[in-house]
Amino acid sequence: MSDFHGVSVLVSGGTRGIGRAIVTAFAQGGARVTFTGRDARAAEETCAGSGAPDRCRFVAGDVSTAEAAEAAVAAAVEHGGGLDVLVNNAGITRDTLLLRMSQEDWDRVLAVNLTGAWQLTRAAARRLMKSRRGRIVNITSVVGLMGNAGQANYAASKAGLIGLTRSVARELAGRGVTANAVAPGFIQTDMTAGLPPGAADELQGRIPLGRLGTPEDVAAVVAFLAGETAGYITGQVIPVDGGMVM
């Protein structure tokens, strides 16, 4: 694990699941971590469980708006004395088959998963360029690579996030900022807890390593990409999926 003392990190959607594990990984590595989300009580639990509550700060807000993005970056700069690492993790699903998908289902998923990441990236870019080592890590999904029946909105948002990652990687490379994506497979969180038992068993059967992933499996790769030793990796998508996509 890299040493993150003196490093300022901003994580979107850190109140539970994968985002919470990412906040914890950075806080335990010594970083000052600012995270966003919508649930202040859950945010307290994230900080308390991180092992370094004094280095955690929560900012409430809807990630899909420009105002919330600006506020989150400002809070991270204040809390961390600058900004070195941005992790775009906040995401939602509104799964349904194409013919039943409403305009609202489509718009909301794209707004949170893709526009939200773009808003935060835009708001953070100048600060990251000023950093000694600017890093952007976007949490996409294997579904953004493979597609998935019943998830046209979600898969499109996650595929779009890969395009955003690679464009930003090219634009900011000259300023020493890397941008990569992590593509989790089937990870045990509240997001996947609602799947019907049959669907969960079927998915598990498609994982060569034979188990679901944990939020910590994903957080470890995020921390690696944000660390000192990953400075020559940019524009890449790293699956963390037990071998589902290969």
Contacts of 229 (CB under 8 A, 6+ apart): 2
Cα distance between residue 107 and residue 173, in whole Å: 31
User: Whole-number minimum distance, CB 76 to ligand NAI, in Å?
Assistant: 14
Question: Which one of the listed residues 154, 178, 218, 237 is annotated catalytic?
Answer: 154
Contacts of 1 (CB under 8 A, 6+ apart): 25, 28, 29, 220, 223, 227
Q: Considering the rule CB under 6 A, would residue 237 count as an interface residue with ligand NAI?
A: no
What are the backbone dihedrals phi and psi of residue 139, each rounded to the nearest 5 degrees, phi first?
A: -90, 105
User: Whole-number minimum distance, CB 62 to ligand NAI, in Å?
Assistant: 4
Which residue in 74, 92, 101, 195 binds ligand NAI (CB under 6 A)?
92
Q: Which two tokens stand for residue 8?
A: 């300022």
Q: Considering the rule CB under 6 A, would residue 214 count as an interface residue with ligand NAI?
A: no
Three-class SS of residue 11? strand
Over the window 160 to 199, marking each residue x when it contacts ligand NAI by CB under 6 A and - when it does not, the resulting string is: ------------------------x-xx-xxxx-------
For 72-83, the DSSP string reads HHHHHHHHHTS-
Which residue in 2, 15, 119, 165 binds ligand NAI (CB under 6 A)?
15
User: Whole-number minimum distance, CB 95 to ligand NAI, in Å?
Assistant: 11
User: Whole-number minimum distance, CB 188 to ligand NAI, in Å?
Assistant: 7
E strands, 7-166, in order:
8-11, 32-37, 56-60, 85-88, 134-139
**Residue 232 known to be catalytic:** no
Q: Which residues bind ligand NAI (CB under 6 A)?
A: 12-19, 36-39, 62-64, 89-92, 112, 139, 141, 184, 186-187, 189-192
Residues acting as catalytic residues: 154
